[in-house]
Structure 1
Amino acid sequence: MNVARARADFPALRPHPGRSRVAYLDSACMSLVPDSVLRAMEEYYSDYPGCAGRSLHRFSEEVSRRYDSARSAFAEFVGTNAPEHVVFLRNATEAINLVASGLDWKKGDRVLVSDQEHNSNLVVWQRLQRERGIRL
């Protein structure tokens, strides 16, 4: 992997006068966005203002097609032939909360977390510790 080329894809990691080089490790809070994603977002907002799977107009149909294509590509990337099992969420916090809230926790169930967790992966488990008696 060419690290310099990968860094160049992220505007926030490019050299700027007066700013030292940075290693960004806080993706649980705010992920850096590469140029390709910024371009795709701009294209979506300017050319295809529609919601996937919710309307019948041409914008929505195009967004739905692209959404399904992205889901299939990701499923293939992670080695599954079941794109319907791929769920896109807004961020890690939402994903962690959905998993934590969706399981049937019993008193004494254990969840392993470290003392270095971001709040998005700690507070939900602490709440379940109080409410359901899980062990951390």
Structure 2
Amino acid sequence: MDSLDSMAAHLKSVAGTGLEPAIVLRAETALEELLSNSIVHGGAPETPASVVWLCAVARTDGLMLRYEDPFAPFDPMAKIDEALRRTTHPIEQRRAGGLGLLMVFRMADEFRYLREGGRNRIDLLFATRRTR
């Protein structure tokens, strides 16, 4: 998590181009969850020299994030589906944890995953809200 501060600072510097504060907060929260998942579930402690990549781009339609890690392959959509099924149970019957990716999925307006070149890649768009 040492790199979280520098990644968040990069995100804020890119977003400083006039994006809504709510978009930046959603993107920062998603970034923290993805980095945490890389560390806790991806095997980061076993491969400390591995590099996590972040690309943030301010666009006219919002903030685009690309997050990549070289850790264990996984299917985030299966994890999200599993978390959605668990939310149908009363809260006292749910096991703790496992809702982070669902939170990221719900905060982002677009969510795409690809495993390519030995890396997990998640692309997220946090769209500007249009008022009528």
TM-score range, shorter chain: under 0.3
What is the TM-score when the length of structure 2 is the normalising length?
0.25
Whichever of the two has the greater Rg, that structure is 1
Higher RCO (C-alpha 8 Å, min separation 6): 2
TM-score, length of structure 1 as denominator length? 0.25
Give the structure with the larger helix fraction.
1
